[in-house]
Amino acid sequence: MGNFCIGSTSLPDQIHERMASRHIQAYIKDHEKQQEREKWLLLLGTGSSGKSTLFKELRLIDGHRFQDREKIKHKQIIRKNMLNHTLFLLAGRTKTLGLISNLFKKKKKKNQKLYEGNPQKYEDCRVDVEDKEIMTNIDVVLSFSKEDFDNEDEIDEVRLEKLGNAIEFLWTLYPIKHTLRQRTGYTDESEKVKKKKKKRKEFLSLLISSNIRKGEDRAACIYRHRYFPDNLEHFLQKAKQIMVQDYMPDNDDILRTRNETNGIEEL
């Protein structure tokens, strides 16, 4: 008598499994072909060379818009940069430098050595704090020295607007403008690149040099080699517009925003 076997699965189930297997194999092949067409691009460059900015521009060209969370993040960065760089400009350029000495945890008038070393060179950059209007606006800026702008709801609207007025007023002063332009060099692009490379080289040599001793005037050293973003002027001259609660950066502001990128970010 003959024998026969019956499979554990029915014929319709076997057909379904084969079709599913074919779909999976086809998907894998399509995915492999897609990976072969993809090109990986590694951008190498120094800080502020424009790597992240390039990808932002590519996103806009491709029709993508910045999400609200991205705009809020850039708004915080813009405000932080404006405040911090204004404080640094005042740090090395006011006559009574002890006003901001607590920001660097140094003794009174430590940074005044910048002027004592070469008063003629830095005379055009000196802000006269004997002027009451100037002092009032400096006090407003200093009152925000510990603000990180991470939670806008905690910042008083009127107080925020006063900060915008103060920064924009200080930016109208010739010594402040002269200081920033002296540090960044807006005139010639090639000269600006050369100056940046020279400053980086000098700064690195200072860091490894035994001349910088523990307890030396590090605040003045940091100021002399402080990097100011090339687009800082763009934001300082519109401080009143930025320091209001309903401000939201547009595409131009986002592209001009400078922030250090650490690691790998998906853009």
List CB contacts of 95: < 8 A, sequence separation 6 or more: 126, 127, 128, 129, 130
Closest alpha carbon to 80 in 155, 27, 21: 155
Share of the chain above pLDDT 70, in %: 61
List residues forming the annotated binding site: 52
Q: How far apart are CA 197 and CA 224, in angstroms?
A: 14
Q: What is the largest CA-CA distance in the chain?
A: 118
Q: How far apart are CA 84 and CA 112, in angstroms?
A: 19
List residues forming the annotated binding site for Mg(2+): 52
| pTM, to two decimals | 0.62
Q: How far apart are CA 66 and CA 22, in angstroms?
A: 40
Q: How far apart are the first and last CA of the chain?
A: 72
In Å, how far are 82, 147, 224, 265 from 155, measured between CA atoms?
A: 16, 9, 32, 30
What are the pLDDT digits (tens) for 82-110? 998 888 888 754 443 444 444 433 433 33
Number of H helices, E strands in the chain: 13, 0
Mean confidence (pLDDT) of the chain? 72
Give the pLDDT score at 264.
60
